[in-house]
Structure 1
Amino acid sequence: MSVNMKVSIVILLLLPEIIYGYVHSLSGEKYLVKVDVENGTCLFRKYENVTSGQTEVPWLAKVLYRPTYNKTGWDYLEVETNPDTDDMSQAYGAGYCEGVLTCKSIKYHWTNVLNNFCENQTEFCNKVQHYLSGNLEWITQMIRLHDDTPFWHQVKLFYRQMDGIYYGQKRCKNQSLSISDILWMNMLTEIEEMKDAFNFSTTSSKLKGSGRCSAIVKLLPDLSDLYVAHNTWTGYQWMLRQVKKYKLNYHISNNLSDIIPGNTMVFSGYPGTLPSIDDFYIINTGLVVLETTIGNENKTLWNDYDNPVNKVSTLARSIISNRLARYGYDWANYYANFNNGLYNNQWMIVDMNRFLPGIYPKIGTLVVVEQIPTLIKISERTNILIKQGYWPSYNIPSSPEVFNLSGNVELVKKFGDWFSYENSPRAKIFKRDQTNVKSMGTLMSLMRYNDYKYDPLSRCNCTPPYSAENAIASRCDLNPDNGTYPIPALSHRSHGAIDVKITSKFFTQNLQMMIVCGPSSGTRLPVFNWSRSDFKDSVSHIGQPDVFNFSSIITDWLLK
């Protein structure tokens, strides 16, 4: 998987709580790693002239890991690299320290989401591996030709950091994950859409309920603040969570250039993954970046899609855009390079620099980017934010061009308003309830909202006549397994909104967010409990607590 960066590890000495050791690269460079497992720290240093006396040079990367998951629902991971050192060593050290400190969680997460993924679909998985290998070969060639350009330099560092994660986690006992396992774990949301792209799925992803997430950008009526909120819809095997802060002091294009504008980002994520995958990012440039999945139902857009050239991963492009962009359109233009047509999303880029409390947001505050195969649509949506007071997102394209081209018209004709932009259940619920948002607390209530048995907007042509999918925060596990539903998305399954993340104009100044982990619960919704769930034996959830009854917290970063 490595882009000319494969690394082998030797001479590591394990002590009871601290690891000291040398890491040898193929180029002959040596690194000293100091890992304090008990205190959750890792320091990655480089040594020169080892044979003549080990002259130490400055640290390359340091990582602080706080395993607070069982207490708060989230582990904290903070990564920082040294701007006075070369980018390749920074990236490798950042990944290595993350891998070695979080190796147990990485193994748990991989087991939950990927261990049985290829059972009964060997042909599909072989096709995926062939595609990923070919794509990586092409990326390697492009890096060799264009490493002096900002885009390709950052692509190289993305994969270099992933290499580090692999070799770091490999250092732990009983850790057998391969480099391909780490790559697949980082690309899994794209791989899932390959079932449609490679024609291995008999039922469309949208009908099965592949949509990930609800989101809203909310302008308070008195213009005192601008809120951004997101919840992640996915299978409950994904509930092993981390919140991360990456301060990666990479250079824009080479070691003599300036530091990247977006050198610091915080995001909700998962063990061993570089992208958020949710996705929800707060960046030191003042940008907040988030998305909801929109998918693609037009199979003709995927013709000849097994050709792996001229494509860069959606998740990699989002990370690269976060690093290089200074404003919304800047982000969109970086992201538009080498569209791979997988994990097709509606991205919202909120530029907090263009909003001053008490004044209407300036043009460029909200830029929306919608991707499907063959097309990326960039739209200025600040005027709609001002006019409506909010911008909602719920897995349906807002652009008529994207909506029509991606096959949604046919879905509406066949299945009705559930697939329409204006009249889908979440569109109506957001429109009705967003007026109640006066604070971060009331916004949290909106993003956790599910009253499916009593809300008329949650009703469907089903038996019983409602679905817990039809809410801002899905709880499909609560639908009866003997119910009848017009599409699988509305049925009983291990799927729902597993979190909420909220930030604001004021919170972004300190890279903070209010977060909560686990499916929604409340007066009319039971707390999710694995031991009482009929999915407890069929859905892997290693490392997760039995009961998800966490309160919301505000992130607290220790590495400043």
Structure 2
Amino acid sequence: RAPQLMYMHWMNTMVGYCGPFKYESEYCEKLRSYLEANLGWMEEQMGKGEDPEYWHQVRLALLQLKGLEDSYNGHLDFPRGRVTLSPFGFLLLQLGGDLEDLESALNRSSPRGWPSYQSMLRVIKKYTLPFRTSDGGNSQIPGSIQVFSSYPGTIFSGDDFYILSSGLGHSQCWPCPPPSIWGADSLGPTPPNHRYFEEIFNASGTPELVEKYGDWFTYDKNPRAQIFRRNQTLVHDLDSMVRLMRSNNYLQDPLSRCRGCDPPQNAENAISARSDLNPPNGTYPFPALRQRCHGGTDMKGGVTSSGMVPSLALVAASGPAWDDVPPFRWSTSPCSALLHMGHPDLWTFPPIKVHWD
């Protein structure tokens, strides 16, 4: 079943992307060079002997990805030296939102849209990886058992949702530098330095967007931030947390109104967005508010609690929100022409509690 799921997820999300036809050969060559340089840089760091524990774990992750790719291709290999990965193979599935930034940074002439609904083949994974420390001893790494939300063919959580056997639970959404602050120097193999919220906000040109379009582009006054601030007092147990994270009542919620939109109520302006419900012939001040095949497709990976973390348990949900809005149905949606192999037509799945034997 796993190979079929990986094939369908690849077809839905990556087929034709810098493939044999190379629709944008100039961009694809730039991307290939960047990815190969990045992999080469990682190999250099592994060989330097600096911070050996960190780079040992990086190597193990690359070996895991190579093993996944080799297994899918029916190929057996045990690399002793350099870990050779195809830049346009399974590595593309690991890049997630990075490709969107790289398209802008590498000046792709027609940036690809990233419709989230095509990526709804999801897997809650539990990895038991007896990884050891770099000293060659018997010390097993902390958090060797990992539970996370993921996709077929990927070895990480695109939602940054993890529960580890070390007791750590993690869920985060962090802003990436927008295209306007990509510089020539930042496209080397090393990633840009992380900055704090306000530094990113000010350096990215976002204040100009706030001046032009209003609070939607702020991180504390946009509709979602205001809804969280207003409704957080309604959360008193796991079920109410799930309801908040899956909520979209854009037709009734005054905080979902959009200045300059016609109609004024906008389905993007909710905790769990449903941009497919916005009219195609509406008037919108910027593209994020128009009708798109985009929306919340889960619950930021999942919801857990301090009582559930020790047993690696969580609550997960699949598909766009549908409590107060019509459920998503591929056949009648504006997205019906998009490839969605392996998907059910109607998405009316309740949250489920994930437990492990």
- Does the 8 Å CA contact 1:247/1:263 hold for their aligned counterparts? yes
Aligned to 2:170, the other structure's residue is in SS state strand
Asked if residue 194 in structure 1 is aligned to residue 13 in structure 2, the reply is no
- Does the 8 Å CA contact 2:5/2:152 hold for their aligned counterparts? yes
1:329-353 residue CA offsets vs partner (Å, 9 max, x unmatched): xxxxxxxxxxx1xxxxxxxxxxxxx
Superposition pairs of residues 406-445 of structure 1, within 5 angstroms: 406-445=204-243
Q: Alpha-carbon deviation of 1:106?
A: 0.6
Quick one: distance in 2 between partners of 1:157 and 1:471? 40
Quick one: distance in 2 between partners of 1:191 and 1:247? 29
RMSD: 2.3
Quick one: distance in 2 between partners of 1:201 and 1:462? 28
Higher strand share: 1
Match of 2:194 in 1: 375
Quick one: distance in 2 between partners of 1:170 and 1:510? 35
1:80-133 residue CA offsets vs partner (Å, 9 max, x unmatched): xxxxxxxxxxxxxxxxxxxxx611111111111100334643322221111101
Asked if residue 261 in structure 1 is aligned to residue 142 in structure 2, the reply is yes
Match of 1:116 in 2: 16
The change in CA–CA distance for 1:126 and 1:298 in structure 2 (over 3 A counts) is closer
Match of 1:356 in 2: none
Asked if residue 509 in structure 1 is aligned to residue 310 in structure 2, the reply is yes
Q: Alpha-carbon deviation of 1:293?
A: 4.0
Match of 2:79 in 1: none
1:333-386 residue CA offsets vs partner (Å, 9 max, x unmatched): xxxxxxx1xxxxxxxxxxxxxxxxxxxxxxxxxxxxxxxx33344xxxxxxxxx
- Does the 8 Å CA contact 1:197/1:305 hold for their aligned counterparts? no
The change in CA–CA distance for 1:443 and 1:473 in structure 2 (over 3 A counts) is same
Match of 2:44 in 1: 141
Asked if residue 290 in structure 1 is aligned to residue 171 in structure 2, the reply is yes
Quick one: distance in 1 between partners of 2:88 and 2:110? 27
The TM-score normalised by the length of structure 2 is 0.89
Q: Alpha-carbon deviation of 1:532?
A: 1.1
Match of 2:349 in 1: 550
Quick one: distance in 2 between partners of 1:307 and 1:442? 45
Percent identity (aligned): 39
Number of residue pairs aligned between Structure 1 and Structure 2? 342
Q: Alpha-carbon deviation of 1:285?
A: 1.8
1:381-427 residue CA offsets vs partner (Å, 9 max, x unmatched): xxxxxxxxxxxxxxxxxx32232123322221121100112211011
The change in CA–CA distance for 1:259 and 1:114 in structure 2 (over 3 A counts) is same
Match of 1:531 in 2: 331
Quick one: distance in 2 between partners of 1:150 and 1:134? 22
Quick one: distance in 2 between partners of 1:286 and 1:401? 31
- Does the 8 Å CA contact 1:148/1:254 hold for their aligned counterparts? no
Asked if residue 244 in structure 1 is aligned to residue 125 in structure 2, the reply is yes
Quick one: distance in 2 between partners of 1:462 and 1:131? 40
1:195-253 residue CA offsets vs partner (Å, 9 max, x unmatched): 222233689x9xx8x8xxxxxxxxxxxxxxxxxxxxxxx61011001000112111121
Quick one: distance in 1 between partners of 2:6 and 2:148? 17
Quick one: distance in 1 between partners of 2:97 and 2:168? 24
What amino acid is the match of 2:54?
F
Identify which range, 263-272 or 116-125, moves more after superposition.
116-125
- Does the 8 Å CA contact 1:148/1:253 hold for their aligned counterparts? no
Asked if residue 277 in structure 1 is aligned to residue 158 in structure 2, the reply is yes
Match of 1:96 in 2: none
Q: Alpha-carbon deviation of 1:298?
A: 6.2
Quick one: distance in 2 between partners of 1:405 and 1:201? 24
The TM-score normalised by the length of structure 1 is 0.58
- Does the 8 Å CA contact 2:262/2:282 hold for their aligned counterparts? yes
Identify which range, 263-272 or 282-291, moves more after superposition.
282-291
The change in CA–CA distance for 1:493 and 1:116 in structure 2 (over 3 A counts) is farther
Quick one: distance in 1 between partners of 2:181 and 2:296? 31
Q: Alpha-carbon deviation of 1:261?
A: 1.1
The change in CA–CA distance for 1:494 and 1:435 in structure 2 (over 3 A counts) is same
Quick one: distance in 1 between partners of 2:332 and 2:289? 21
- Does the 8 Å CA contact 2:315/2:354 hold for their aligned counterparts? yes
Quick one: distance in 2 between partners of 1:183 and 1:271? 13
